[in-house]
Amino acid sequence: MIRIVSSMKTLLILRHAKSSWKEASLDDYDRPLNKRGKRDAPQVGRLLRKEDLVPDLILSSSAKRARATAELVAEESGCENEVQLSRDLYAASPEAYLEALAGLEDGLERVMLVGHNPGLEELLEILTGSYEPLPTAAFAQVQLPIQRWQELSEDTQGKLVKVCRPKEL
């Protein structure tokens, strides 16, 4: 069987859904989703399924709010692969996100990255050349002109296909 490798990869950049600040004693890493976050994350998953953007893999920060967002999105979108969690993606720099993506298997065509600002907005700007605010539970779809994830770098000139924000859903 001949496997055709796409000349493009799709990156979905998702900022975690709205988190709770109720318990002031909680460490930032351990903050859960609030009511709105628990509503918005599944909406994103349903939109991904409707628009045929279900990711082959979801790579997420292991912070509680990011992990919960990723799991709700995976469940509602129908993503069948287990969410991969990484502590390195908590409050990560754009370089850390690029490094994580560059280590992915080439057979993955569409990957969702779930994390935090300002790193995600900066990553989006580096890859597309345009600044787009990413409020909680917003995601951006980026087409990347690469065949293998290891080709991804700060010099990659991706195309911003769309940005979806919860208030627009």
Per-residue confidence of the chain (169 residues) as pLDDT tens digits? 444 555 799 999 999 999 998 888 889 999 999 999 999 999 999 999 999 999 999 999 999 999 999 999 999 999 999 999 999 999 999 999 999 999 999 999 999 999 999 999 999 999 999 999 999 999 999 999 999 999 999 999 999 999 999 888 6
Burial of 3 (0-12, 13-18, 19+ CB in 10 A): exposed
Model pLDDT, residue 3: 47
Hey, what amino acid is at 130? S
* Closest CA relative to residue 59, chosen from 81, 83, 41, 92: 83
Q: 145 preceded by cis ω (within 30°)?
A: no
d(CA 37, CA 132): 20
* Closest CA relative to residue 106, chosen from 57, 54, 150, 142: 150
Structural domains for the chain: 9-168 (3.40.50.1240)
Phi, psi of 126 (to 5 degrees): -60, -45
Radius of gyration of the chain (CA): 15
Model pLDDT, residue 6: 56
Model pLDDT, residue 167: 83
**Sign of the CA dihedral with 57 first, then 59, 62, and 68 last:** negative
In this predicted model, what pLDDT tens digit does every residue of 2-24 receive, in sequence order? 445 557 999 999 999 999 988 88
pTM confidence score: 0.94
Model pLDDT, residue 21: 87
Residues 6+ apart with CB under 8 A from 44: 14, 17, 73, 76, 77, 137, 139, 164, 166, 169
d(CA 45, CA 157): 27
Model pLDDT, residue 45: 97
Q: Is 57 helix (H, G, I), strand (E, B) or coil?
A: strand
